[in-house]
């Protein structure tokens, strides 16, 4: 047997190469759904961890303020004058022209700041996949707070001093009925047309 013949037997034929490629493609097609599922579970774990951090900060706030639930925002003239509205995550920048995370009601209780991929952003909704709620095109948060139930007086919309639910009781942690059933924070998005819009308010009807 010549050296050329021995060398030819050590190589792949075109048919063998195509079979190997087909087998690899089949293996990848079987693995991709599992990888996608693992990725989704990882995002879910991150989201739950972030909401847990919010819950811890929320409890610490109540401990400092006679058991009162955290307000969603200070937005009325009697509270802020002509300045920025102060939401639980930071100011909205409507007067100053910039979002200030340090002004957030919850900010002193979290070792984090606003920004892309921060604790305030759900991994399922990265910056760029939605429209911001504030007038400024900067990341704030994709999570919402249940202010309508927990702090109606300090929640825009149906709440506030003139809203239909504004005079309802501001909850203390000890007055929350069925606490295991109450959503305090959740990832929230409003579907407006063809675009998602984030909201800092956990609004049950929407």
Q: Which helix (H) or strand (E) holds 185?
A: strand 185-187
Mean local confidence (pLDDT), 167-193 = 88
Integer Cα distance of 187 and 123 in angstroms? 10
| Strand extents, DSSP E, 45-170 | 73-74, 86-87, 143-145
Considering the entire predicted model, what is its pTM? 0.77
Contacts of 103 (CB under 8 A, 6+ apart): 84, 86, 90, 91
134-155 residue pLDDT tens: 666 788 888 999 999 999 999 9
Mean local confidence (pLDDT), 156-180 = 91
82-137 residue pLDDT tens: 999 999 999 988 888 888 889 999 999 988 778 788 888 888 888 888 877 766 67
Residue 58, Cα to own-chain centre: how many angstroms? Answer: 16
Mean local confidence (pLDDT), 146-169 = 92
Helices (H), the chain: 3-10, 14-64, 77-80, 147-150
């Amino acid at each position: 047997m010549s050296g050329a013949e021995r060398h030819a037997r050590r190589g792949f034929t075109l048919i063998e190469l195509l079979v190997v490629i087909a087998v690899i493609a089949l293996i990848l097609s079987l693995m991709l759904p599992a990888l996608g599922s693992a990725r989704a579970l990882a995002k879910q774990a991150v989201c739950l961890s972030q909401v847990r951090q919010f819950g811890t900060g929320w409890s610490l706030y109540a401990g400092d303020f006679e058991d009162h639930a955290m307000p969603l925002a200070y937005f009325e003239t009697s509270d802020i004058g002509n300045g920025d509205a102060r939401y639980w995550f930071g100011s909205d920048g409507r007067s100053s022209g910039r979002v200030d995370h340090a002004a957030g009601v919850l900010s002193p209780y979290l070792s984090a700041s606003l920004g892309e991929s921060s604790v305030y952003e759900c991994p399922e909704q990265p910056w760029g996949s939605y429209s911001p709620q504030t007038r400024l095109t900067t990341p704030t948060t994709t999570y919402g707070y249940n202010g309508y139930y927990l702090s109606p007086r300090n929640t825009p919309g149906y709440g506030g001093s003139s809203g239909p639910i504004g005079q309802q009781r501001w909850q203390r942690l000890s007055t929350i009925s069925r606490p295991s059933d109450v959503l305090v924070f959740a990832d929230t998005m409003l579907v407006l047309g063809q675009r998602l819009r984030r909201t800092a308010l956990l609004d049950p009807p929407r």
